[in-house]
Amino acid sequence: MAAQGRGIAGLGFASPSRVLRGADDKDIDDLGIATGLEREELEFAKAGKKRWDEPPVGPFGTAEKPAIIESWYDERIVGCPGGPGDDEHDVIWFKLKKNERHECSICGQIFELKCIGPGGPPGGHHGSHH
Amino acid sequence: MTNNSCLDRRHPYHLVDPSPWPITLSFASVPTTVGGVLAFHSIRAGGLLLGSGLGMLLYTLFLWWRDVIRESTYAGLHSACVHQGHRYGFLMFIASEVMFFIAFFWAFFHSALGPAVESGAIWPPHGLMVPDPWGIPFLNTLILLGSGASVTWAHHALFAGSEKAAVNALAVTIWLALLFVLLQAMEYRDAPFTMSDGIYGSTFFVATGFHGVHVIIGTIFLICCAIRHYLGHFTPTHHFGFEAAAWYWHFVDVVWLFLFVSIYWWGGH
């Protein structure tokens, strides 16, 4: 049974987390009332993993060891900032497609796409949302 | 709703679903402003138009913020990144409010530092019975400072997971806020001068009047936080709605301190 108490406000006061999630104690863990994406983010962080995509980082891509860019779909927009230190240049944007390596026109860095998701066109299949 | 809850959602941002509230708010602003202007010129329809405009405005704000609560607490769409964006956004909003008040302080100092010869080249102008700063205004200063302390107490209670202490502290804050509004209303009712009494009256009532409106807004915000806390929306690590209310409350307190020192104390006898 939820604890009751009377504060200065004169309100009967049940423990808020119980009010929201129901009186069953086993529903409440250390993530509290977090739900949906917020909860997924916290659960991934607890497991030491990242929930969201982050900008790819890695050593300068060459023909022997290209820079691997992970993508959920079969193509992704990528920006090349150049090499380390003085080899930096203004970001050059391009579309990197599956099975097609791309060479930066300024610094020659080589990129290759690695599909880690369902593939297909970016944004998912059209006409099937909702 | 767009696909949010499975691993296809790769980004942490919240792309809000289409909503009618922004355009409803702009439509509601029209009778509010037009009605306000008509009312100031004592045209009868003005009051009705202003009232209905304000009603539409307030209802739209209620619906809009209700949706924000649904999206955040009930749907969990406010990731850490979204939360961070809200923090920066609200701070920038407070900065814009600071600029708003700077305008009225500028107007006050422009006239008070170089008083016109028509009002005796002194400030306050000759003949005006100005409020004694060490009466109700000083009491109001202590009330707001105390409420700043109690809202901080509420925040610490939230961090510590002491839910009942947080409710009590919020209740203290709200009672103090209401007391301020009541005392200021009494001062307005009993003031021996009005807004039409020259530049002193104008600067006094515009500056303290807008401050009073902000206190009322802050009080409503705190009441909403108290209700949300009672409903269990706030956790020790995620309670930005409360933090925003507390920041706004501290801002209102600081503005009052400037008002007290500049207009009541320095600007008085």
Counted across chains A and B, CB pairs separated by less than 8 A come out at 94
CATH number of the domain to which B119 belongs: 1.20.120.80
* pLDDT range class, residue A124, cuts 50, 70, 90: low
Q: Nearest Cβ partner of A32 from B74, B231, B235?
A: B235
- B223-256 tens-digit pLDDT: 999 999 999 999 999 999 999 999 999 999 999 9
Do B31 and B162 belong to one domain?
Answer: no
Do B187 and B158 belong to one domain?
Answer: yes
* pLDDT range class, residue B4, cuts 50, 70, 90: low
For A69, list phi and psi in degrees, rounded to 5.
Answer: -110, 120
Do B204 and B245 belong to one domain?
Answer: yes
CA distance B84 to B90: 10
Do B258 and B174 belong to one domain?
Answer: yes
CA distance A116 to A76: 12
**What is the domain range of residue B180?**
80-266
**Do the Cβ atoms of B104 and B202 come closer than 8 Å?**
no
Do B139 and B54 belong to one domain?
Answer: no
User: pTM to 2 decimals?
Assistant: 0.84
The domain ranges of chain A are 18-53, 55-124
CA distance B141 to B133: 10
CATH number of the domain to which B36 belongs: 1.10.287.70
CB-based contact A19 B2, cutoff 8 Å: no
Residue of A nearest to B229 (CA): A16
In this complex, is the C-beta atom of B173 within 8 Å of any C-beta atom belonging to chain A? no
Given this model, what pLDDT does residue A9 score? 42
DSSP state, residue A6: B
CATH architecture for the domain at A55-124: Sandwich (2.60)
CB-based contact A53 B231, cutoff 8 Å: no
Do B69 and B166 belong to one domain?
Answer: no
Do B136 and B98 belong to one domain?
Answer: yes
Do B94 and B210 belong to one domain?
Answer: yes
* Last residue in a domain, options B78, B109, B137: B78
In this complex, is the C-beta atom of B235 within 8 Å of any C-beta atom belonging to chain A? yes
- B11-36 tens-digit pLDDT: 899 999 999 999 999 999 999 999 99
Residue of B nearest to A34 (CA): B76
ipTM over 0.95: no
* Last residue in a domain, options B44, B78, B112: B78
* Last residue in a domain, options B24, B46, B78: B78
The answer to the question of whether A80 is labelled as a binding residue is yes
Do B65 and B97 belong to one domain?
Answer: no
Given this model, what pLDDT does residue B36 score? 97
- A66-97 tens-digit pLDDT: 999 999 899 999 999 998 888 899 999 999 99
Domains contained in chain B, number: 2
Do B132 and B69 belong to one domain?
Answer: no
Higher pLDDT, B22 or A8: B22
**Do the Cβ atoms of A50 and B17 come closer than 8 Å?**
no
CA distance B188 to B209: 9
- B182-223 tens-digit pLDDT: 999 999 999 999 999 999 999 999 999 999 999 999 999 999
Do B123 and B219 belong to one domain?
Answer: yes
Nearest Cα residue to A117 out of A75, A57, A77, A66: A75
Do B53 and B133 belong to one domain?
Answer: no
The answer to the question of whether A104 is labelled as a binding residue is yes
- Side chain identity, residue B142: L
